[in-house]
Amino acid sequence: MARGKAYLYTIVGASAWGLIGVFVSPLYDRGFTPWEVVAIRGVFTFVFMFLLMMLFFRKHLATKLRDHFVFAGAGIISIAFFNYFYFEVFAQAGISLAVTLLYTGPLFVTILSRIFFKEALTKTKMIALGLAVIGCAFVVELLPYGSSSLPLSVVGMGILSGFFYALYSIFTKPITDRYSPLTITTYTFLYTSVFMLIASDVTAKVRLFTYADVLVSSVLLALVSTVAGYVFYTTGLKHLEASKASILATIEPIVAVITGVLVLNDTLAVWQGVGILSVLFSAVLVTRRSRSRQRSARVV
């Protein structure tokens, strides 16, 4: 795959994640807890992915037993817990703050990729990462005014969401050469769904799925913000370094904020616009650096 297409796939996947607030809000309104919303996301996603695989990609269901430790780790340790902390911050402090704290994830990915994959920690990566983090802080107006009113528990859960989010890239990167993005997503959410059905009380609220808004929100949460998001992101990750893919994925908070303005009647301040530009520039910086290296290689 051309590197430009890999960048595009990563950004499209992150954009699909950025729409998540639109689909989660109606579930909160109906009385579902953040832990139960994780279960809904996991179960619906696995059902859709399994049907898709059975109908069109059955041969991709073949896996090696030893790799199920990776699928289980990604599904339970990463997906279940990053979603829980993310949704909990969303419920307590709003989608903009939740998505910003989630994007401490690239910092963890960069550090863990250096440890496990020996990826170079270049000056360009550090500058792009810094711009992304600062930009996210502007998006939620943590800069330039600061905020002393945030409960420490909310900040802590937000940072934990970023850490567990980062583990998805770390878990799945070693097996991207052996399996398609569809296979990885399907088996990851198999373990997420099984774990959440056991660990949550969502089955006690089955009657709520008779409401059209609950059913539609659950389906779109799975199809748009999960199936599409993870398939596109994992496809991009297969052809990029984990740290670069994670930095490019910071397009998610931009989509989340814009969606809030257009759909949820949020207001966008000037400093938030500055933050959006900063995050966009961090993504451009990563891609331009890679292209210049490719041109140099061709000349040599």
Tell me how far apart the alpha carbons of residues 213 and 5 are, in angstroms, rounded to a whole number: 35
pLDDT of residue 270: 83
Tell me how far apart the alpha carbons of residues 203 and 40 are, in angstroms, rounded to a whole number: 10
Tell me how far apart the alpha carbons of residues 128 and 283 are, in angstroms, rounded to a whole number: 7
Q: What is the pTM of this model?
A: 0.81
Encoding tokens for residue 33? Answer: 């807890």
Q: Phi/psi class of residue 15: alpha, beta or left (left: φ > 0; alpha: ψ in -120 to 50)?
A: alpha
Encoding tokens for residue 4? Answer: 């430009």
pLDDT tens profile 68-101:
999 999 999 999 999 999 999 889 878 877 877 7
pLDDT of residue 52: 92
Range of the domain at 283: 3-299
pLDDT of residue 297: 32
**Which portions of the chain are predicted below pLDDT 70?**
106, 140, 146-150, 242-243, 246, 264-268, 280, 283-284, 286-300
Tell me how far apart the alpha carbons of residues 53 and 48 are, in angstroms, rounded to a whole number: 9
pLDDT tens profile 200-240:
999 999 999 999 999 999 999 999 999 998 788 878 877 88
Tell me how far apart the alpha carbons of residues 166 and 106 are, in angstroms, rounded to a whole number: 7
Long-range pairs for 263-266: beta carbons < 8 A, 24 or more residues apart: 263/22, 264/21, 264/22, 264/25, 266/96
The residue type found at 61 is L
- The total domain count for the chain is 1
Measured CA angle at 15 (ends 286, 244), to 5 deg? 25
pLDDT of residue 162: 85
Q: Helices 251-263 and 3-18, interaxial angle, to 10°?
A: 40
Check if the beta carbon of residue 237 is closer than 8 Å to that of residue 172: yes
Check if the beta carbon of residue 84 is closer than 8 Å to that of residue 35: yes
